[in-house]
A = this chain, B = another copy of it.
Amino acid sequence: MISGKTGSTSAGELSNWNRFSSLFYPHSVTVVGASPDFKKLGYHCMKSLIMSGFPGKIYPVHPRLPEIDGFKAYSSVKSVPGKVDLAIIAVRSSLVPQLLNECAEIGVKGVVLITAGFKEIEDESGAALQNEIATIADRADIKVIGPNTFGFVNLHANLNASFTPEFSLTPKGDISLVSQSGGFCHLMAPLAMLEQVGMSKIIGIGNRCNVEFADILEYMADDPDTRVIMIYVEGTDNARRLFEVASRVTGKKPIVAFKAGRFSLGDKAAYSHTGSMAGKHEIYTAAFKQAGIVVADSPTELLDVARALSLCPLPRGNRVAILSGQAGPSIIMSDVCEQNGLLLADFSSETTERVHLLLPPLAMRSNPIDMGPAWYDSETIRKVVEVVLADGNTDGVLLYAAYASANRPLLKELTTVLKSRAHGRPVVCCFPSPPGVWVEEKQEFVESGVALYPTPERTARAMCGLVRYARERREE
């Protein structure tokens, strides 16, 4: 456990918090089911640990082999010589109860149970087996991620406790994802890599034998490495507790949710009850909103809103300015903003005057400001941006400019003003460009925390999410 990471919760919860902290920041990890065979998930779990550069002890467990991936292997959990904080288990389901008992004996604090074949299978023996392991784990106070999970990755601990080594390539940041579906994590992590969104923890909670959404949210409320929480929910057995905990957490940190299963739940039986499913979905989203959770309409929007919340100060209201080097995309952005209840700010008379002096007579100078006629005069564009950012009547700014070779100097010109946080307002930007141009400029923006998006509608939706969370906070 990394020192100094203690929660500020009450005594009873503190213990839970410390348990989770040992799970997410372990000193030592055992992989039960470690294997030299590519076709075994334990093979990939070992690769993940190694690729993540995990600095603690690694103990592969294999019934016969003396060594795996250069690490001394042990024939059983109980023969591991040192203390074990986290056990990653990828063996067949019938072996799991006995293994958990052994983990309890040696004082393991957390388990990632990758093994499938529990509650999710059609045979009721699966549910029985899951109850059995939950009882063992609860008695020993072992926190179990899973069963039927891909695991988790904690980029702040250089720990990839999953069967996908490439998760270690995700950029490090302060957004955590708690997902009911491992498949969803395998969608979001590559998106975060591609778009350079900084992540903290990515957790697939699987069948949730004794760790539910609410438990992780409680932990994350005091996790110093998490600033924004994304959740992917299909459904949960204890929705009431989820909403209660979420209500508390959203007062401290934003939660953004994406709920799947609006229409069917993916099988024919559920499909024939579409109506009730849709009703259930509506109840979920209403409860989310009441708990102060920002609800996203798609996986992409989930990531976009989380990124804005991670990078931007909160807007004080819903009055935005839209600045665009091209008129078309500014219309797209204002469509999205107005559809979501945002207002186009009335600029102060001083701002209006200064913009009038900067833009040629043929410019549309109200809000949105079409900077089109000056689009390849980077200095003027920068001055307009500065003037609008200084306007006390705006709560946030959307800035759009597409590359067109004549405006190649633009992003360099905008660097100082965009990197400055002096204005205290959220600024979301969209700078579409062909591959190979504006690359270094955008990289500098990403590294300095400027919120960049690839399309005008995603840029606008990110701002709408920011405004929604800020409004919920004010209304509390």
Give A contacts to B, CB under 8 Å. 38-39, 41, 43-44, 47, 116-117, 120-123, 126, 150, 163-167, 169, 179-184, 186-187, 189-191, 193-194, 232, 234, 260-269, 271, 274, 298-300, 324-332, 334-335, 338-339, 344, 361-362, 364, 366-368, 370, 372-373, 376, 400, 402-406, 432-437, 454-457
Chain B nearest CB from A375 CB (Å) reads 9
B435 touches A194 (CB 8 A): yes
A402 touches B183 (CB 8 A): yes
Residues in chain B near residue A403, CB distance under 8 A: 164, 166, 186, 190
Residues in chain B near residue A47, CB distance under 8 A: 405
Measured between alpha carbons, how far is A190 from B455 in the docked complex, in Å? 10
Q: Which of B264, B400, B436 makes the CB contact (< 8 A) with A334? A: B264
24 pairs of residues in contact across A and B, judged by CB atoms under 8 Å: A44-B405, A121-B361, A126-B362, A163-B405, A183-B325, A183-B327, A183-B402, A187-B456, A260-B335, A261-B331, A262-B335, A262-B339, A263-B334, A263-B338, A264-B331, A264-B344, A266-B364, A266-B368, A267-B364, A267-B366, A268-B367, A299-B332, A299-B456, A300-B455
B169 touches A434 (CB 8 A): yes
- New A-B pairs, 12, CB < 8 Å, besides A164-B406, A181-B326, A234-B328: A123-B361, A166-B405, A179-B328, A184-B328, A186-B404, A187-B328, A191-B454, A191-B455, A265-B331, A266-B334, A266-B368, A266-B370
Residues in chain B near residue A402, CB distance under 8 A: 183, 186-187, 190
Chain B nearest CB from A7 CB (Å) reads 30
Residues in chain B near residue A120, CB distance under 8 A: 362
Residues in chain B near residue A366, CB distance under 8 A: 267-269
Measured between alpha carbons, how far is A189 from B364 in the docked complex, in Å? 25
A329 touches B362 (CB 8 A): no
Measured between alpha carbons, how far is A298 from B457 in the docked complex, in Å? 7
Residues in chain B near residue A121, CB distance under 8 A: 361-362
B332 touches A362 (CB 8 A): no
Q: Which of A43, A268, A404 has the most CB of B within 10 A?
A: A404
A434 touches B193 (CB 8 A): yes
Chain B nearest CB from A299 CB (Å) reads 6
Residues in chain B near residue A232, CB distance under 8 A: 328
Chain B nearest CB from A199 CB (Å) reads 13
Asked if A329 meets B183 with Cβ closer than 8 Å, knowing A260-B335, A264-B335, A405-B47, the reply is: yes
Tell me the nearest residue of chain B to A167, going by C-beta: B434
B331 touches A234 (CB 8 A): yes
Tell me the nearest residue of chain B to A181, going by C-beta: B328
Chain B nearest CB from A252 CB (Å) reads 27
Chain B nearest CB from A143 CB (Å) reads 22
Q: Which of B166, B261, B298 makes the CB contact (< 8 A) with A437? A: B166
Asked if A183 meets B405 with Cβ closer than 8 Å, knowing A299-B332, A433-B190, the reply is: no
Residues in chain B near residue A331, CB distance under 8 A: 234, 260-261, 264-266
Measured between alpha carbons, how far is A85 from B435 in the docked complex, in Å? 32
B455 touches A332 (CB 8 A): no
Measured between alpha carbons, how far is A169 from B120 in the docked complex, in Å? 48
A181 touches B150 (CB 8 A): no
A326 touches B435 (CB 8 A): no
Asked if A150 meets B404 with Cβ closer than 8 Å, knowing A181-B327, A187-B456, A434-B189, the reply is: yes
Tell me the nearest residue of chain B to A402, going by C-beta: B186
Residues in chain B near residue A300, CB distance under 8 A: 455, 457
Residues in chain B near residue A268, CB distance under 8 A: 344, 366-367
Tell me the nearest residue of chain B to A43, going by C-beta: B406
Measured between alpha carbons, how far is A403 from B189 in the docked complex, in Å? 11
Chain B nearest CB from A258 CB (Å) reads 9
A373 touches B261 (CB 8 A): no
Chain B nearest CB from A219 CB (Å) reads 22
Measured between alpha carbons, how far is A62 from B455 in the docked complex, in Å? 38
Residues in chain B near residue A361, CB distance under 8 A: 121-123
Q: Which of B183, B267, B329, B405 makes the CB contact (< 8 A) with A326? A: B183
Tell me the nearest residue of chain B to A274, going by C-beta: B338
Tell me the nearest residue of chain B to A51, going by C-beta: B405
B404 touches A164 (CB 8 A): yes
Chain B nearest CB from A438 CB (Å) reads 10
Residues in chain B near residue A194, CB distance under 8 A: 435
Measured between alpha carbons, how far is A164 from B167 in the docked complex, in Å? 38
Q: Which of B150, B181, B370 makes the CB contact (< 8 A) with A329? A: B181
